[in-house]
Structure 1
Amino acid sequence: MIFPPLQLDRPAEAARIVVAMSGGVDSSVAALIAAHSGAEVIGVTLQLYDHGEAVKRSGACCAGQDIYDAAQVCEKLGIAHYVLDYESRFREGVIERFADDYARGRTPVPCSLCNQGVKFTDLHGFARELNADALVTGHYVRRVVRDGKAELHKGRDPARDQSYFLYGTTAEQLDLLRFPIGELPKSDVRALAAEAGLIVADKPDSQDICFVPDGDYAGLVKRLRPETEAPGEIVDRGGRVLGQHRGIVHFTVGQRRGLEIGGSAEPLYVVRIEPDTRRLVVGPKQALAVSEARVGSWNWLGEEQAEVEVKVRSLSRPVPALLQDGVIRFRQPEYGVAPGQAAVVYEGERLLGGGWIEETVSADEAGMLAA
């Protein structure tokens, strides 16, 4: 087996590595690569749900089966394994924030919140307490050292790149972090796991948001924020009432399904959600086009630049934009942009930084769309 380098600052035989292990094949192969280096390796799994709830879950990271799988992989590799109880931290920092964003009519990105909180901030602190030389994760991104400074780059496999979710990584964290599978395609990761005899070699990837494995986001939010289930008006951009909805919890910006509005000459989409009045503002597809977005809570790994490429969704392609005073101005009208999402800026393969979208400006109303 040929393994990617770990970029350790001293000989592996004298190094200690902490590996964040979710119980999936990616983090397991990251642990395999670390163990093969000859360093002392410690696997760490975060328990993010109470035991009774975790045992019931499948298809979601950090669930009961996943903790067991991580322990089995560590035993196979001959490395230590610890489970840290972060259930309360995860609920407060990720699940409650997710529900709050929905209640405010925003489009949340919980994976970014999790990485900025328990997965990187807390694990980074844990690794430092153990005097670790590196904190290894199974993310599909690359750490590139240039002129003595660590940079965060997209994963080598564009279909698996996870850099969008890691924009909140700090320079201090990146000094310790290592991402060995970021150089590999998924097929090679699974092949390495199979060759090493790891029980997770054929384990399916987790689907949907980890704490909503059944995909019923509305059900979770209704339990935590029951006020979001209250009905309200559906209005056009001029304020004319077109119908009634069954609760803002069932809708996000850009959604068409479930509006149940008759008599319109063209399909209507949710353009804006007004939680204080419980109103859904709808319009034609062109009303979803955005000319600019005001972004807050910026985190920078690289230098701030004026001419950038921006991603506003994890699976979208970066698009050219002008960045000035925290405002992103798209060169062309951009669809699928909503408050609550992360705006992540790049220079080619390098991630420069990102922040949370607080407000958008309609390209239609700004006169950016052709008549």
Structure 2
Amino acid sequence: MTTVRTVVGMSGGVDSSVAALRLREAGEPIAGLFMQNWADDGSGDCRAEDDRRDAVAVCGRLGLPIHFRDFSREYWDGVFAHFLAEYAAGRTPNPDVLCNREIKFKHFLDAAHSLGAEFIATGHYARVERREGRHRLLRAADRSKDQSYFLHQLGQTQLAATRFPLGELLKVDVRAMAQAAGLPTAAKKDSTGICFIGERDFRDFLARYLPAREGEIRAVAGDGRPDGRAIGRHAGVFYFTLGQREGLNIGGVRGFDAAPWYVVGKDVARNVLYVDQGTDSPWLRSQALWSETAHWIAGSPPARRFACTAQTRYRQPDEDCEVQVLDDGRVQVRFARPQRAVTPGQSLVLYDGEVCLGGAVIAATDAPLEQHLKVNAA
């Protein structure tokens, strides 16, 4: 009996399918593992069973054994409870980052080791490089699909045991390889939505766990005062995020131009949602941020002060910045130019060229409305 050296996380999508295909073609002794991480609550189109069938079909096509694990309890405790707490506090979390750290590169890795494997492999678009005794997380060759942003919480132990077979490939080539190999997922649409929960009406889904609490929508004043007049009602401030345009249901308002409205702030304590017109509203602009405790992939920061580039949201172009590591492990970041809609709860991810240095959850910014609300709350 051949010993399995690598277990591939089979999601039922084309990316994990081709990751398994590449390893098998390289002669690697592998097996697949399908993770169930969400107990369907009937709130939407959860496609876990379809994905499970596709994962089984792909492994059958490749002649691979497949294992199954239910991590739904671990997902609830380690990811979803935090997700809800952050939204209830008025912040906007990134569950994909926590899901990778807590599920895919913790419980899945433990499961692979229990099966006697040395490595895990996933369909993420990223690369791992070993240099001078340390492992580095690099951006993928296909920058439009690069997922290092979501992997920045990984450390040396995880990276040493991880393979990303798609890191050097373009997405179009992945599709072509799946088609040429006759894989049943070759034309399957990429998954979107919340990690492992799938596509559904987000507000309806969130309302099952955070009941709606109606409040005022207020327009910021044009004279520099944030407290303008009430122009509408919202169902709950935690349903919205900074910079959001959709779902406000604000029609024509007397005294204002017929221009789109955007969320520029949330006062959770008073249950007020602040909006302004124009995508470049000054209320959305910030040039500095402060984080929670930072995670460094190398185990420590490159210096107490250093220059690098940063992303404060996925697929954002690199932004030049200066980083100061504070005594308590948090970071203060000042950008070379003002940033739009930097959002507490989201992830700050730092880069040195192709190398992902690590990152942290954004705690606060110097955006004018955020500072005003902080002073009023004090």
Q: Which piece of structure 1 moves more, 148-157 or 294-303?
A: 294-303
Secondary structure of the 1:232 match is strand
Deviation at 1:121, TM superposition (A): 1.3
Whichever residue aligns with residue 316 of structure 1, its letter is Q
Deviation at 1:33, TM superposition (A): 1.6
- Specify the alignment match of 1:264 in structure 2: 256
Deviation at 1:259, TM superposition (A): 5.8
- Specify the alignment match of 2:359 in structure 1: 354
Q: Would the alpha carbon gap of residues 233 and 197 (structure 1) be closer, same or farther in structure 2, given more than 3 Å must change?
A: closer
Whichever residue aligns with residue 10 of structure 2, its letter is M
Q: Which piece of structure 1 moves more, 33-42 or 351-360?
A: 33-42
* CA contact 2:344–2:364 (8 Å) conserved in 1: yes
- CA–CA distance in 1 between the matches of 2:71 and 2:269? 33
- TM-score, scaled to structure 2: 0.85
- Specify the alignment match of 1:287 in structure 2: 283
- Specify the alignment match of 1:135 in structure 2: 120
Q: Would the alpha carbon gap of residues 297 and 57 (structure 1) be closer, same or farther in structure 2, given more than 3 Å must change?
A: same
- CA–CA distance in 1 between the matches of 2:359 and 2:59? 35
Which digits, 9 at most, give the CA deviation of each residue in 1:5-64, with x for residues without a partner? Answer: xxxxxxxx8761111111101001111122223332121111123368599534xxxx11
Matched, 1:274 2:267: yes
Q: Would the alpha carbon gap of residues 217 and 98 (structure 1) be closer, same or farther in structure 2, given more than 3 Å must change?
A: farther
Q: Would the alpha carbon gap of residues 211 and 142 (structure 1) be closer, same or farther in structure 2, given more than 3 Å must change?
A: closer
Deviation at 1:199, TM superposition (A): 0.8
- Specify the alignment match of 1:315 in structure 2: 315
- Specify the alignment match of 1:103 in structure 2: 88
- Specify the alignment match of 2:341 in structure 1: 336
Whichever residue aligns with residue 264 of structure 1, its letter is F
Which digits, 9 at most, give the CA deviation of each residue in 1:87-128, with x for residues without a partner? Answer: 122233333332332222212211112111111111122223
Whichever residue aligns with residue 343 of structure 2, its letter is A
Unmatched tracts of structure 1, length 5 or more: 1-12, 367-371
Q: Would the alpha carbon gap of residues 54 and 149 (structure 1) be closer, same or farther in structure 2, given more than 3 Å must change?
A: farther
Which digits, 9 at most, give the CA deviation of each residue in 1:279-305, with x for residues without a partner? Answer: 123345121111111111311013434
Whichever residue aligns with residue 229 of structure 1, its letter is R
Q: Would the alpha carbon gap of residues 159 and 233 (structure 1) be closer, same or farther in structure 2, given more than 3 Å must change?
A: closer
Unmatched tracts of structure 2, length 5 or more: 372-378
Secondary structure of the 2:68 match is strand
Select which of 19, 24, 27 maps to 1:38. 27
Deviation at 1:85, TM superposition (A): 0.6
* CA contact 2:75–2:99 (8 Å) conserved in 1: yes
Q: Would the alpha carbon gap of residues 255 and 52 (structure 1) be closer, same or farther in structure 2, given more than 3 Å must change?
A: closer
Select which of 150, 155, 159 maps to 1:174. 159
Matches within 5 A, 1:128-207: 128-207=113-192
Deviation at 1:239, TM superposition (A): 2.6
Deviation at 1:148, TM superposition (A): 2.7
- Across the aligned residues of Structure 1 and Structure 2, the Cα RMSD in angstroms comes to 2.5
Whichever residue aligns with residue 233 of structure 2, its letter is H
Q: Which piece of structure 1 moves more, 174-183 or 241-250?
A: 241-250
Matched, 1:234 2:227: no
* CA contact 1:55–1:65 (8 Å) conserved in 2: no
- CA–CA distance in 1 between the matches of 2:269 and 2:174? 48
